[in-house]
């Protein structure tokens, strides 16, 4: 019995576990990043030196220039992979941070939305001159965790901003009460989502933004959090026209 009790005491929350794993991955990954960047410089010095000494020489059946470009490509592969790990760890930390807090605060979603938008203020004004926020009066309160819901709104808004890329394409946040629920619509007139991607985008690690730091964790985290709040997310999209992400959360009595 005693052993069982000790075991129970040591059980950690998912948040603590994820945060621990993220930390343990981050440390060796930092070594990889740091050492790779040193190696890149190091190789570059070696090649410069060889080139100076005996211009136009070859190693085996490759010219020095070909050899150099192959090595640089391999090094970039390592650095890109490492950067991807860094982004995933960062997203996991964001998730872990919200996991540790309980969630039965009574919240005003308007405040939560305004905080999320304030956090992204800089990115918003950099991305579009056509950002609209429209919050109807008479919203019921919602039972939940403010930090987690902020994370959801931020993840969805970031996707919208990435989808419109730049210019004056519309990004709109609309919030209104409906039959005792709070509805939030995030609409963007961005690239849209191909229909064969629609049912995959909430899978963890599904991303079409591999090359610009995407991890594919944003929407899966949003889904998990909204589910915990007994809410629903619906995503509709037309490629080339835009996307609407609708969140519905049950209101308090
Ligand atoms: P990430 O943003 O890291 O790629 P997400 O889980 O946030 O991961 O999104 C997964 C994928 O869903 C994105 O890579 C993108 O292809 C698609 N997506 C999500 N939101 C939008 C949007 N508003 N417009 C177009 N595509 C979107
Ligand atoms: Mg995202």
Q: Which ligand is nearest to the CA of 233?
A: 1
Q: Which atom of ligand 1 is nearest to the CA of 215?
A: 3
Q: Examine the pLDDT at 12 and tell me if it is beyond 70.
A: no
Q: How far is the CA of 52 from the centre of ligand 2 (A)?
A: 47
Please determine, for the modelled complex, whether the ipTM score is greater than 0.90: yes
CB 161 within 8 A of CB 128: yes
Q: Examine the pLDDT at 6 and tell me if it is beyond 90.
A: no
pLDDT at 167 (0 to 100): 77
Nearest CA to ligand 1 atom 20: 159
Stronger pLDDT, 64 or 56, i.e. the higher one: 64
pLDDT at 94 (0 to 100): 80
Residue 169 CB less than 6 A away from ligand 1: no
pLDDT at 205 (0 to 100): 92
CB 41 within 8 A of CB 48: no
Burial degree of 74 (CB within 10 A; 0-12, 13-18, 19+): exposed
Pocket mutation for ligand 1, best pick of 151, 155, 164, 219 (most atoms within 8 Å of C-beta)? 219
pLDDT at 203 (0 to 100): 92
Where residue 176 falls (left for φ over 0; alpha for ψ -120 to 50; beta otherwise) is beta
Sorted by sequence, the CB contacts under 8 Å of residue 131 that are 6+ apart come out as 124, 125, 170, 171, 172
pLDDT at 3 (0 to 100): 63
Q: Examine the pLDDT at 166 and tell me if it is beyond 80.
A: no
Stronger pLDDT, 60 or 188, i.e. the higher one: 188
Pocket mutation for ligand 1, best pick of 124, 159, 160, 243 (most atoms within 8 Å of C-beta)? 159
What tens digit of pLDDT does each residue of 140-165 get? 999 999 989 999 999 999 999 999 98
Residue 208 CB less than 6 A away from ligand 1: yes
Nearest CA to ligand 1 atom 21: 159
What tens digit of pLDDT does each residue of 94-128 get? 878 766 566 678 999 999 999 999 999 999 999 98
Residue 242 CB less than 6 A away from ligand 1: no
pTM, entire model: 0.84
Residue 206 CB less than 6 A away from ligand 1: yes
Tell me the pLDDT of the chain averaged across its residues. 91
Residue 233 CB less than 6 A away from ligand 1: no
What tens digit of pLDDT does each residue of 179-218 get? 999 999 999 999 999 999 999 999 999 999 988 889 999 9
CB 153 within 8 A of CB 233: no
């Amino acid at each position: 019995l005693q052993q069982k009790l000790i075991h129970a005491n040591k059980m950690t929350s998912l948040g603590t576990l994820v945060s621990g794993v993220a930390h343990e991955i981050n440390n060796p990954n930092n070594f990889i990043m740091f050492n790779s960047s040193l190696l890149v410089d190091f190789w570059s010095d070696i090649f410069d030196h060889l080139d100076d000494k005996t211009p136009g020489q070859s190693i085996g059946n490759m010219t020095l220039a070909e050899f150099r470009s192959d090595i640089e490509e391999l090094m970039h592969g390592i650095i890109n992979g490492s950067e991807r790990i860094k982004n995933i760890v960062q997203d996991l930390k964001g998730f872990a941070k919200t996991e540790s807090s309980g969630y039965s605060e009574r919240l005003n979603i308007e405040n939560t939305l305004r905080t999320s938008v304030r956090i992204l203020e800089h990115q918003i004004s950099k991305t579009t001159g056509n950002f609209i926020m429209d919050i109807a009066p008479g919203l019921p309160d919602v039972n939940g965790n403010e930090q987690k819901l902020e994370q959801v709104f931020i993840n969805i808004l970031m996707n919208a901003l990435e989808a419109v890329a730049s210019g004056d394409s519309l990004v709109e946040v609309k919030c209104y009460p409906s039959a005792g629920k709070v509805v939030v619509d995030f609409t963007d007139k961005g690239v849209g989502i191909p229909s064969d991607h629609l049912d995959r985008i909430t899978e963890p690690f599904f991303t079409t933004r591999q090359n610009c730091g995407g991890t594919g964790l944003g929407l899966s985290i949003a889904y998990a959090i909204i589910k915990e709040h007994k809410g629903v997310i619906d995503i509709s999209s037309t490629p080339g026209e835009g996307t609407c992400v609708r969140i519905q959360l049950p209101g308090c009595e």
